[in-house]
């Protein structure tokens, strides 16, 4: 999870002091043509955003926040965690990515150690040294004099819990990571740092065969759970949040703050993933969070929450689902998809649109209709989808209703846009199967996009994963 901007809310604490809750938004940069950092920072400022999380600490990104007054969270990627085998190495990282940018007037608040490093659901491997890296980095921050200002922590997915618990009070950490989780919680308690969890409510109801209404937070679900302590759960958010709290309690951290670092509703590539459901989801959840109602186990306790995600990412990994490219409340060009009041006040408004975005020419690459050689067409589709994002063609996707020729055209155009409409002879050739048109081929719910002009391309860490074209172009037989 990549970036996050936060809108602060306030509530009185049990001690009478004012406690600020936070609503945040993650923003990843795994796109073929990126909005430039200055445009993004301007978007944050337009929306009066005060805090941002970025997973890639590239110099151009970090410098864009210099003097902006925006608090920043930075991350160490999972694939780099093996390098941090001592406090000395962590000190070098702090000097390079913390001290350097603090001196350039960048306001760093948190450091996230990896992205769900102990999750077996969304990664091929788990990163068992993540807790060691957490300790090294926090020690380095403390020794540099930043410990009271900058906190390190780990993000986790809900699969850190044992599967198939039917009530929050039954939850506990998986046996294979329990020792690591206890160690992590001790570090967090020692340094007054929060625990962090990510959730996907629509995924929860699908894999557990639960009523879809249970994923929303608007009181319309007829499905509910009554715990042994009498607490009533009417939605996934409360159920999973309190499940993690129970696991933390059993691991010796009953009072530690729990932050939801990423929660969202995809708009494509998954059952029930659409704009209408996403808008409804946020309309219920954000006012609940902003009103500081808390959860059944912690009533009245403010919750910090990050929305997943700012923009769609057409280069994000798709191994565990096409929906991972469709989290955005914004489209790739900085235009909002639907109404959402990020402040949590429940207003019927769109967020502000990004300014200064320039589009490529209104040109599309489509299929010329020649199906005389189907193996040749199939190979062209596979080539197109290796670089272009064809996930909307998946069954149930916004473009899954296209006929065969339209599906091929969609694939060709995604490739054409991903390579920035290059003017060379190969841009839309596909061995004589493609042609460039100036009439928009979009139809029904399926949009054939035109990319934006950008000054940079995806950096290290982006993954261009081809999905077998046969699973997308289901009419090719």
The total of other beta-carbon atoms located within 10 Å of residue 419's CB is 18
**Catalytic choice (92, 103, 116, 313):** 116
For CA atoms 288, 294, 296, 299, the dihedral sign is negative
Give the span between the Cα atoms of 303 and 186, in whole angstroms. Answer: 21
Residue 90, C-beta contacts closer than 8 angstroms, at least 6 positions apart: 84, 133, 136, 137, 139, 140
Residues 337 and 282: beta-carbon distance below 8 Å = no
Neighbouring-strand partners of residue 173: 161
Instruction: Establish how many alpha carbons lie within 13 A of residue 83's alpha carbon, considering only the half-sphere containing its beta carbon.
Output: 12
Q: Is 116 a catalytic residue?
A: yes
- Written as six digits, the tokens of 120 are 């077996």
Chain centroid offset of residue 365 CA = 30
Give the span between the Cα atoms of 213 and 157, in whole angstroms. Answer: 22
With residue 235 as reference, give the H or E element that holds it: none
Residues 369 and 347: beta-carbon distance below 8 Å = no
| Cα–Cα distance list, 230 to 235, 281, 283 (Å) | 16, 26, 28
Catalytic positions: 116
């Amino acid at each position: 999870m990549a970036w996050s901007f936060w809108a602060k809310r306030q509530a009185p604490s049990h001690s009478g002091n004012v406690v600020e809750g936070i609503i945040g938004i993650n923003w990843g940069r795994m796109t073929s043509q990126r909005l430039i950092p200055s445009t993004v920072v301007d978007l944050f400022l337009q929306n009066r955003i005060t805090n941002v999380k970025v997973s890639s600490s590239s110099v151009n990104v970090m410098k864009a926040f210099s003097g902006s007054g925006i608090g920043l969270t930075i991350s160490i990627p999972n694939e780099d965690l093996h390098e941090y085998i001592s406090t000395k190495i962590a000190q070098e990282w702090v000097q390079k990515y913390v001290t350097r940018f603090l001196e350039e007037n960048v306001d760093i608040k948190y450091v996230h150690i990896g992205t769900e490093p102990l999750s077996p659901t969304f990664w091929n491997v788990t990163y068992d040294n993540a807790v060691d890296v957490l300790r090294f980095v926090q020690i380095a921050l403390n020794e540099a004099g930043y410990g009271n200002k900058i906190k390190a922590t780990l993000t986790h997915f809900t699969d850190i819990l044992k599967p198939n618990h039917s009530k929050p009070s039954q939850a506990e950490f998986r046996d294979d990571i329990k020792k690591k989780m206890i160690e992590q919680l001790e570090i967090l308690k020692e340094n007054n740092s929060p625990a962090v969890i990510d959730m996907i409510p629509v995924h929860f109801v699908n894999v557990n065969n639960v009523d879809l209404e249970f994923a929303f937070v608007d009181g319309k679900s007829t499905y509910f759970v009554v715990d042994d302590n009498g607490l009533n759960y009417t939605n996934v958010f409360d159920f999973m949040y309190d499940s993690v709290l129970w696991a933390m309690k059993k691991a010796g951290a009953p009072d530690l703050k729990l932050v939801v670092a990423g929660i969202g509703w995809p708009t494509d590539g998954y059952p029930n993933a659409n704009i209408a459901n996403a808008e409804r989801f946020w309309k219920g959840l954000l006012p609940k969070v902003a009103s500081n109602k808390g959860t059944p186990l912690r009533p009245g306790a403010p919750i910090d929450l990050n929305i997943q995600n700012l923009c769609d990412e057409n280069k994000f990994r798709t191994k565990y689902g096409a929906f991972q490219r469709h989290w955005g409340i914004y489209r790739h060009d900085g235009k909002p998809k639907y109404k959402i009041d990020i402040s949590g006040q429940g207003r019927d408004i769109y967020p502000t649109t990004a300014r200064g975005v320039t589009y490529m020419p209104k040109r599309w690459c489509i299929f010329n209709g020649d199906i005389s050689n189907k193996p040749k067409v199939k190979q062209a589709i596979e080539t197109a989808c290796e670089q272009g994002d064809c996930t909307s063609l998946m069954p149930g996707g916004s473009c899954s209703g296209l006929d065969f020729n339209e599906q091929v055209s969609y694939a060709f155009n995604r490739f054409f846009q991903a390579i920035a409409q290059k003017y060379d002879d190969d841009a839309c050739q596909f061995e004589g199967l493609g042609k460039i048109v100036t009439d928009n081929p979009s139809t029904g719910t399926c949009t054939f996009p035109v990319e934006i002009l950008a000054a940079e391309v995806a950096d290290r860490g982006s993954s261009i994963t081809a999905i077998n074209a046969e699973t997308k172009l289901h009419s090719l037989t």
